[in-house]
Chains A and B, each alone.
Chain A
Amino acid sequence: MAESEPAFVLFMAETIKLSSLTIGASAVVREYPKQGSAFLRLREMGVLPGTTVTLIRTAPLGDPLEIKVRGYNLTLRKTEAEHVMVETLNPAT
């Protein structure tokens, strides 16, 4: 799991909400709320600025989301994911 991708891969990147990521896509976490115990716990679970995350799926009713981070699977609700800004990784441009 690469922590920082080479710059040229990020060339076509755009910054979006983690909740708007398409299923199966990977992205690097960029902006992160400072306040709130939810976000502290998310950090402690290894979701940090610079970490690569992959959106695996949404639950059958559309919420919560399941992401892969540091080699394991984690769920979080859309209300939290909306506050986490990620930079999409354009695969092999």
Chain B
Amino acid sequence: MSEPVKSVAPVRAPIYALVGNPNCGKSTLFNALTGLKQKIGNYPGVTVEKKIGTAYSQHGQPLTIIDLPGAYSLAARSPDEAVLRDVLLGRRADTPMPDRIVCIADATNLERNLYLVHQILDLGRPVILVLNMMDVAERSGLVVRAARMEKELGIPVIPCEAVNGKGLVELKLAMSRPDLPLSRHSWAIPAPIAPAVSEIAASLAENDQRAPLIARAEALLLLTDQDSVRVAGSRPLSARTVEILRSWEKRWEGQGTDWAGSLVNSRYEVISELCAHVIDRDGAKTGASASDRIDSVVTHPVWGWLVLGTIMAALFLSIFTFAQVPMDWIGERMAALADWVKRVMPAGDLRDLVTDGAIGGVGSVITFLPQILILFFFIGLLESTGYMARAAFIMDRLMSRVGLNGKSFIPLLGSYACAIPGIMATRTIEDTKDRLVTILVAPLMSCSARLPVYLLLIAALFPSTSVPIGAKVGIMISMYALGTLGAFGFAWLFKRTLLKGEPPLMIMELPPYRLPKLRDVALHMIERAWLFLKRAGTIILGISIILWFLTAYPKAPVGATGSEQIAQSFAGMAGHALEPVIKPLGFDWEIGIGLITSFAAREVFVSSMGVIFNAESSDGNTATLHDALLSAKWPDGHALFTPLVCITLMVFYVFAMQCVSTLAVVRRETNSWRWPAFQTLYMTGTAWLVCMIIYQTGRALGF
């Protein structure tokens, strides 16, 4: 293509795809272009976020923009990159093939950013190149000549500072042009590979109904991609094309031709030549950059740990202190709402369903929302500043001991507050198996909903107040340590057996530190929280109603107390039915009811015990409850909550999978009920086994 070719203006308004490397400022640009006019969903069958937004041209014409996941290459190594590749190649039935592509490249790191751009130019569709962070490049003494680049590539090249909104007008003007030139850039495919490219392209055009230009691009891609990452929802290739591909690969292997490598090399050769023309490095500052100086502290063998520890301490401190006020507020609102319903609705089962079932059940989950939001906020902050990559860099060695990489660290750490944001944060892990292992073990980290249970049982363990605080703290720490050990132990086990795979890579960019854009972080936080509520909300509501039904039916005679009602309800029956199974752990049917109702959220155990042992006090004081627990007895008269049972019960809560919200999120993140079911089985199974050993050993030793 040596002469400029004009693309024909599509009949409908063109659909734009927004593509670029991670950390190039793509989401900032997308947010700046579309404002809040965004629709966020999922690509069916894969857990990759699908974002479509609408921007308006200078004349008020709507422009549809698909924000595709950030990627370094179209040769996909992760589901994110696979979605990008498949959308651009028109392989997905659920997403229209974009007519035009806006490529964003970080002007401070142009060579590597242009690798993806170079692959995209092969697609034969109109491309607008946005050079982002021109201000940062300028400050570091780099002169990037956009005009020269435009001449070399034959496509619009727009200098931009997405953070300050500079260049947006020019970009929108270019986007609303009725015709856009196709790139007249060309590159020589290495001679030994060229015939294969033509043959595969011809087969793609003939057997896979690809347009000729796309076929060539896809052929080039297949040679470097080897289709390593296949995701649901993309159309498979025809057998004939695969056959041709394999036969070429076999031939090259025999000849010792490094086909994939030489394709990458020749792309970088073209890029280097282009960069030599358009980048002026004469004024480039030498020596350590601000980022390098920060890193010399942040990744320092001593200070690095201190920084990491301080940041994590700040995270947990803010989760447990700042979240308390809104959590109390939500609790009060929920109670007030239930009171209001009680006033306006006639007494009866329907009213109880609304107040105790729906409001009570959903309320117990909603109260965790402030913690979830703060955690999302912190994760967003760590991501947008660039610290996330450093934390992964520091922790990689430790995580590799169990076969994971450093990227699993933050999701697992976040799970100490709540497994839900932790599990949702695993999307940054590229390797599907590593991601699944992290999701499977994340709920073993003791979350904040277990805290009230631990506190109650520790109080019951030490009836007198004379016990040194150290013993209580020691037990608490042991529970957290036990969960952590369990998580790493199972990660190690799963990586060796069930989800055996290549050792994970740690080929990761350490992006320069940037000041966070609070608007983007806040937007990200709200999106995530909304996604959780939308997807998990119905399941939580459903389970809450079922749990309410189980405790409210069949009805006890009028005048029965709460504990009599629950004792003869379905939940009570289930507790009785469960007793033979949990008796080896020292638990009776009453504890069994608590274990069942804990499925709404683990801390519900506390209120269930309150109802069962008739200790519900209006001010929620646990002192009365722990007295009630201590006086609880087996039918034969020996105490129920012995110290051994308290410890065993705590250990049960460390390991058992008892959180419907988490299961709902795992279902969403893994796209099947298979994994949440497996998770419930292995976690609760482990809990039973460990508790049985502890209780029986304890009994044998005379406790």
Give the B-binding residues of A (Cβ under 8 A). Answer: 1, 3, 32, 34, 37-46, 48-49, 56-57, 59-64, 66, 70-77, 79-80
Q: A41-B507, A45-B507, A46-B112 are in contact. List 16 more A-B contacts (CB 8 A).
A: A37-B505, A38-B507, A44-B115, A44-B224, A57-B299, A59-B393, A59-B396, A60-B300, A61-B397, A73-B291, A73-B510, A74-B507, A75-B396, A75-B506, A77-B506, A80-B507
Other-chain contact of A40, B260, B272, B304 (Cβ < 8 Å): B260
Chain A residues near B301 (CB-CB < 8 A): 60
Chain B residues near A61 (CB-CB < 8 A): 394, 397-398
With contacts defined as CB atoms under 8 Å apart, how many contacts are there between chain A and chain B in the complex? 118
Q: How far is the CB of B434 from chain A (nearest CB, A)?
A: 14
* Chain A CB within 8 A of B109 CB: yes
- Which 7 residue pairs are nearest across A and B when measured between Cβ atoms? A61-B397, A73-B510, A43-B264, A34-B258, A70-B111, A60-B301, A44-B73
Chain B residues near A38 (CB-CB < 8 A): 505, 507
* Chain A CB within 8 A of B268 CB: yes
Chain A residues near B224 (CB-CB < 8 A): 40, 44
Alpha-carbon distance between A41 and B76 when the two chains are bound, in angstroms: 10
Most buried by A among B75, B108, B112, B507: B507
* Chain A CB within 8 A of B261 CB: yes
Known contacts A40-B261, A48-B265: does B510 contact A80 (CB below 8 Å)? Answer: no
Whether A64 contacts B264 by the Cβ 8 Å rule is no
* Chain A CB within 8 A of B524 CB: no
* Chain A CB within 8 A of B72 CB: yes
| Residue interface bits B286-325, CB-to-A below 8 A is 1, else 0 | 0000011001100111101100000000000000000000
Other-chain contact of A64, B73, B268, B393, B511 (Cβ < 8 Å): B393
Q: How far is the CB of B513 from chain A (nearest CB, A)?
A: 11
Whether A45 contacts B506 by the Cβ 8 Å rule is no
Whether B506 contacts A72 by the Cβ 8 Å rule is no
* Chain A CB within 8 A of B508 CB: yes
Chain A residues near B77 (CB-CB < 8 A): 37, 41
Whether B506 contacts A44 by the Cβ 8 Å rule is no
Chain B residues near A76 (CB-CB < 8 A): 505-507
| Residue interface bits B257-277, CB-to-A below 8 A is 1, else 0 | 010110011001000100000
Whether B111 contacts A46 by the Cβ 8 Å rule is yes
Chain B residues near A56 (CB-CB < 8 A): 292, 295
Known contacts A48-B265, A71-B109: does B299 contact A63 (CB below 8 Å)? Answer: no
Chain B residues near A64 (CB-CB < 8 A): 393, 396-397, 406, 506
Chain A residues near B73 (CB-CB < 8 A): 41, 44
Chain A residues near B75 (CB-CB < 8 A): 40, 44
Whether A75 contacts B272 by the Cβ 8 Å rule is no
* Chain A CB within 8 A of B503 CB: yes
Whether A72 contacts B397 by the Cβ 8 Å rule is no
Chain A residues near B228 (CB-CB < 8 A): 37
Chain B residues near A80 (CB-CB < 8 A): 505, 507
Q: How far is the CB of B256 from chain A (nearest CB, A)?
A: 8
Residue in chain A with minimal CB distance to B224: A40
Alpha-carbon distance between A65 and B531 when the two chains are bound, in angstroms: 37
Chain A residues near B349 (CB-CB < 8 A): none
Other-chain contact of A60, B115, B272, B304 (Cβ < 8 Å): B304
Alpha-carbon distance between A60 and B392 when the two chains are bound, in angstroms: 12
Alpha-carbon distance between A62 and B393 when the two chains are bound, in angstroms: 10
Alpha-carbon distance between A57 and B296 when the two chains are bound, in angstroms: 9
Residue in chain A with minimal CB distance to B502: A37
Whether A75 contacts B393 by the Cβ 8 Å rule is yes
18 A–B contacts from the bound complex (CB under 8 Å)? A1-B281, A32-B261, A40-B75, A40-B264, A41-B507, A44-B75, A45-B509, A57-B295, A60-B305, A61-B398, A64-B396, A64-B406, A70-B112, A72-B509, A72-B511, A75-B389, A75-B506, A75-B508
Chain A residues near B299 (CB-CB < 8 A): 57, 59-60, 66
Q: How far is the CB of B432 from chain A (nearest CB, A)?
A: 13
Alpha-carbon distance between A73 and B291 when the two chains are bound, in angstroms: 10
| Residue interface bits B66-86, CB-to-A below 8 A is 1, else 0 | 000000110101000000000
Whether B505 contacts A77 by the Cβ 8 Å rule is yes
Other-chain contact of A66, B260, B272, B393, B502 (Cβ < 8 Å): B393
Alpha-carbon distance between A76 and B393 when the two chains are bound, in angstroms: 9
Chain B residues near A70 (CB-CB < 8 A): 109, 111-112
Alpha-carbon distance between A38 and B111 when the two chains are bound, in angstroms: 20
Known contacts A37-B228, A71-B108, A80-B507: does B394 contact A43 (CB below 8 Å)? Answer: no
Whether A71 contacts B265 by the Cβ 8 Å rule is no
Residue in chain B with minimal CB distance to A79: B503
Whether B505 contacts A46 by the Cβ 8 Å rule is no
Q: How far is the CB of B502 from chain A (nearest CB, A)?
A: 8
Q: How far is the CB of A28 from chain B (nearest CB, A)?
A: 14
Whether A34 contacts B261 by the Cβ 8 Å rule is yes
Q: How far is the CB of B308 from chain A (nearest CB, A)?
A: 9
Whether B265 contacts A43 by the Cβ 8 Å rule is yes
Q: How far is the CB of A49 from chain B (nearest CB, A)?
A: 7
Known contacts A45-B507, A77-B506: does B272 contact A3 (CB below 8 Å)? Answer: yes
Other-chain contact of B510, A3, A48, A66 (Cβ < 8 Å): A66
Residue in chain A with minimal CB distance to B503: A79
Q: How far is the CB of A84 from chain B (nearest CB, A)?
A: 12
Most buried by A among B260, B291, B505: B505
Whether A74 contacts B508 by the Cβ 8 Å rule is yes
Chain B residues near A74 (CB-CB < 8 A): 507-510
| Residue interface bits B477-519, CB-to-A below 8 A is 1, else 0 | 0000000000000000000000000110111111110000000
Other-chain contact of B394, A32, A48, A49, A59 (Cβ < 8 Å): A59
Alpha-carbon distance between A67 and B162 when the two chains are bound, in angstroms: 28
Q: How far is the CB of B294 from chain A (nearest CB, A)?
A: 12
**Those of B73-121 within 8 Å (CB) of chain A:** 73, 75, 77, 108-109, 111-112, 115
Whether B507 contacts A60 by the Cβ 8 Å rule is no
Residue in chain B with minimal CB distance to A44: B73
Alpha-carbon distance between A84 and B236 when the two chains are bound, in angstroms: 35
Residue in chain A with minimal CB distance to B292: A56
Whether B505 contacts A41 by the Cβ 8 Å rule is yes
Residue in chain B with minimal CB distance to A57: B299
Chain A residues near B295 (CB-CB < 8 A): 56-57, 66, 73
Q: How far is the CB of A64 from chain B (nearest CB, A)?
A: 5
Chain B residues near A57 (CB-CB < 8 A): 295-296, 299
